[in-house]
Chains A and B, each alone.
Chain A
Amino acid sequence: MRIVIAEDSVLLRDGLTRMLTDGGFEVVEAVPDAGQLLRAVAEHRPALAVIDVRMPPTHTDEGIKAALVIRRQFPEVALLVLSQYVEESYATDLLSEATSSVGYLLKDRVAHVRDFLDAVRRVAGGGTALDPEVVAQLLVRRRDDPMERLTPREQQVLKLMAEGKSNAGIMSALKVSPSAVEKYVTNIFLKLDLPAASTDHRRVLAVLKYLGS
């Protein structure tokens, strides 16, 4: 799988390249700023772009802006945004345009190699990988809406769904039985007034509703 990396720190650029290469990915180019990222994506059409939020020249949110441009121009490129800080307002910007094949993780998560590589695969495969911190922030934001109808446990399950976890993943994360997870998921669909459709589609809708727009 072909990947483009945009990260202004040489140290991390090399580290990420090494880790992703070791993990079986092909890093076609690693660039230090948003301008070169857009050029590299147009040139290589990678399956996924790993993007640092804070890059030259302004060192603010270039990464988010570049990610949104890529999503508009090359919707088939999956986006994994990394940031030293998780900010709800960055996440909202990103997720308002992209709700699939998108990830937003704290940079710290690269320390947990296996989890990080899982997240890369999940995002590249069309899923989402939202940092638990992002999810927590979004959850607080949406306290006044239908989400309030959910029990804390159901909110937890929805949170894990938003992070991109499957039923099996939720099961192991919460240490509950498969039938319990099924029940929670069904309740969530019911409480959020989601139309009967294939479970996968409803999952996406639930997460979408959860993220709001």
Chain B
Amino acid sequence: MTWRAIKNALAGLLAGLAGGILLGVLVAVWGAAILSLVQGPGGWQHGAIYVTVSVLVFVLVPWVVQGLAMLQRSRIRATLGTEIPAPARTSGPASWLVGPWLAAATWRQLGYHVLAVVTGIGGAVLAVLFPVWPWLARQMTRTDERLARALLGPGSREALALRVESLARSRADLVDAADAERRRIERDLHDGAQQRLVSLAMNLGMTRERFEGESEPVRQAIAAAHDEAVLALTELRQFIRGLHPAVLSDRGLVAALSGLAARAPLPVRLQVDVPRPASAAVEAVAYFIVSEALANVAKHAQATQAEVAVTRTGHTLRIAVTDDGRGGAAFGRSDGVDGTGLRGLAQRAAAVDGTLKIDSPRGGPTVITAELPCES
């Protein structure tokens, strides 16, 4: 079917072009002769030629039209196998001269020959391009899409703005989800493992009391199990608190921070001026920054005291942790191998669009400053 169509298209091109050129030449000659007659022929010989040519063409054109129609009909028959009957011939006294011009069939056929030029060229082009149709279709689709995007949708600047907005939203959702997940895990551990472990430690404690009169190995075994349970309980408690301090959701940042300051192994002065609370996610980040910064101070700074200042001005929560230690703190490697965890803090701050700076000259003092934007 396809090959037949291609054959037909190519034959259509030849026939169409041939008809087009032939008719075109005839019409051009006729037009020129008529024009020359109207403008005034130079001498009677010329006039006679012009008149002859005009009449000749007038007579010839219907013949050519019918001849071409025959050619086209046979082309259709040859390539497509479709039989198209010829229209009835005109008859009457002047049938050979004026008759064809009066027949609707002649005008229809003339119309066909004009169209045949267009369909011939178009069909042939499409047929020749047949092997690359899929590619062409893809290109057209792509171009169409590009055009539509460029002309029908938002401009590139607007698109970028939309993208940034959607990214910011999805990241905020992600941060909130992570925060909620930590809270859920904290709750699950509190209600589950922690209670069970308290119960276990308590039972072992009671067993230890009850078997005090037993032999040394028995007492030792029970004591070891009891001590281990107590240790596990302490570790789990610290782990859970590190995950998400319950007091942060219950009583807010100030209560959570004063607990942190109190637990630190060195004296910590705490100054909090937060007239309006920030969002839960931002407060959690603030809490962890202070927590990690203080842990760092205790571990690396050799400081005798530290100060934590948390202030909110407008839409910014500012956290500053200062110590009087030896200084020299830096971000360290991203995998945290060299152990300061400060890079992790910077990442945490960045997750809520905040910044974290370290100012820690050798010899101290060290100041870690974080600024977190808060909308509410």
Report which A residues bind B (CB closer than 8 A).
Answer: 9, 11-12, 15-16, 18-19, 22, 54, 59-61, 84-90, 106-108, 110-114, 133, 136-141, 143
Contact = CB atoms under 8 A, between A and B. Distances in A.
Contact of A110 (B190, B198, B247, B262): B198
Interface stretch (B70-78, B204-212, B272-280): B204-212
A208 B263 CA distance: 21
A113 B209 contact: yes
Interface string B179-213: 00000000100110011101101111110110000
B358 interface: no
Interface string B252-279: 0011001101111001110000000000
Given A108-B233, A108-B234, A111-B229, A89 B259 contact: yes
Contacts of B201: 108, 110-111
A19 B190 contact: no
A137 B263 contact: yes
A110 B205 contact: yes
B259 A137 contact: yes
A48 to B, nearest CB: 18
B258 A88 contact: yes
Interface residue SS majority, chain B: helix
Contacts of A114: 209
Given A111-B226, A111-B229, A84 B203 contact: no
Contacts of A86: 259
B203 A15 contact: yes
Interface in B313-358: none
B249 interface: yes
B291 to A, nearest CB: 14
Nearest to B245: A85
A88 B199 contact: no
Contact of B247 (A85, A112, A113): A85
B224 to A, nearest CB: 14
Contacts of B246: 54, 60, 84-85
B169 interface: no
Interface residues of B, number: 41
For the complex, would chain A's binding face be called helix, strand, loop or mixed by DSSP majority? Answer: helix
Interface in B94-131: none
B250 interface: yes
27 contacts: A9-B195, A11-B199, A12-B195, A15-B198, A16-B202, A54-B246, A60-B246, A60-B250, A84-B194, A84-B240, A85-B246, A87-B251, A88-B255, A90-B247, A108-B201, A108-B230, A108-B233, A108-B234, A110-B205, A111-B205, A111-B226, A113-B202, A113-B208, A133-B263, A136-B263, A140-B267, A143-B267
A46 B248 CA distance: 33
B156 to A, nearest CB: 50
A11 B199 CA distance: 7
Interface string B216-246: 0000000000100110011001001100011
A55 to B, nearest CB: 11
Question: Which 7 A/B pairs are nearest by Cβ-Cβ distance?
Answer: A137-B262, A111-B201, A89-B255, A60-B250, A9-B195, A113-B205, A140-B262
A90 B247 CA distance: 9
Given A11-B196, A137-B259, 17 more contacts: A11-B195, A19-B202, A54-B246, A61-B251, A84-B237, A88-B259, A89-B247, A89-B254, A89-B258, A107-B198, A108-B233, A111-B201, A112-B205, A113-B209, A141-B258, A141-B262, A143-B269
Nearest to B266: A140
Contact of A111 (B190, B194, B198, B267): B198
B9 to A, nearest CB: 80
A185 B36 CA distance: 138
A188 B205 CA distance: 36
